[in-house]
């Protein structure tokens, strides 16, 4: 399996297990939500620093995001994490 896809599947699995949204994950990592999305889809070739930031944001070891165990890296098909209610500016 492509290492980027492997990382993305593991990242999404851990994020969903904690009930963390992509927005919250992005805020913890200091990146944009779209960047988190592209990492989860295996479209980003992440740096070691990004790997470390993702692991810290999820409260897991960096090695957990590179786990090749086929029972944990299968496609993650679960419901979406609820978003926070958006507030509209009054005026």
pTM of the model: 0.76
Domain extent listing, the chain: 3-66
Dist CA 22 CA 71 (whole Å): 23
At 66 the pLDDT is 94
pLDDT at 73 over 90: no
- Kindly report the CA angle at 25 between 7 and 85, in degrees rounded to 5? 140
At 42 the pLDDT is 95
pLDDT at 55 over 90: yes
Conformation bin of residue 60: beta by default, left when phi > 0, alpha when psi is -120 to 50 = beta
| DSSP state string for 68-90 | --TTTSS----PPPPPPPP-PPP
> Thinking of the domain 3-66, which architecture would CATH place it in?
Orthogonal Bundle (1.10)
């Amino acid at each position: 399996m492509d290492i980027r896809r492997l990382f993305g599947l593991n990242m999404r699995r851990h994020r969903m297990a904690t009930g963390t949204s992509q927005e919250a994950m992005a805020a913890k990592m200091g990146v944009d939500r779209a960047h988190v999305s592209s990492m989860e889809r295996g479209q980003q070739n992440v740096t070691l620093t990004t790997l470390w930031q993702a692991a810290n944001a999820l409260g897991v070891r960096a090695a957990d995001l590179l786990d090749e165990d086929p029972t944990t890296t299968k496609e993650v098909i679960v419901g979406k994490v609820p978003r926070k209610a958006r507030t509209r500016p009054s005026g």
